[in-house]
Structure 1
């Protein structure tokens, strides 16, 4: 079974994914989620409502609009989380508008 999981990870090319046991949730006007790195270490992240509006098309700061924008931008958000993986934090890593490319 472990060999199959390793093979799937190699084929997919993804080393970072959303932790399935804790779905993304709205906290204020942000989305909090857990990312799993290399199938092992898990880190908690929070993406700001500003980033979800500016980069991922959230039409409002409602729960439904923010979650929809998060789903739409999931690949880019996971990529930003992966790049922030080594940040020394004791709690939640914050992702904002500066973590996503312009244009």
Structure 2
């Protein structure tokens, strides 16, 4: 597991990576789809090691997108999908 994954307590759940990131001074839980990690960031398949490796590659984009989504009201993790990464 890489440093960003450790820092954010990232783990694979089904075909997503779930992680915690502080935005606006508040820790929030996020979830990025395996589809995004495969299509945009080079995960070769849906295995945990590949998804977490792509998660590390996507660090800068994930941090930027998470900051933009910090005020999204939700009772669970904030879903980050393909549309959130358009134009990156």
Smaller-chain TM-score range? 0.7 to 0.9
Structure 1 residue runs without a partner (length 5+)? 1-16
Q: TM-score normalised to the size of structure 2?
A: 0.86
Superposed, 1:1-103 pairs within 5 Å as: 20=7, 23-38=9-24, 40-102=25-87
Q: TM-score normalised to the size of structure 1?
A: 0.75
Q: Does structure 2 conserve the Cα–Cα contact (< 8 Å) formed by 1:45 and 1:92?
A: yes
Pairwise CA RMSD of aligned residues? 2.0
Query: Hey, which bits of structure 1, 4+ residues long, moved more than 6 A?
Result: none
Structure 2 residue runs without a partner (length 5+)? none
Query: How far apart are the structure 2 equivalents of 1:33 and 1:99?
Result: 16
Higher relative contact order (CA 8 A, sep 6+): 2
Aligned residues: 85
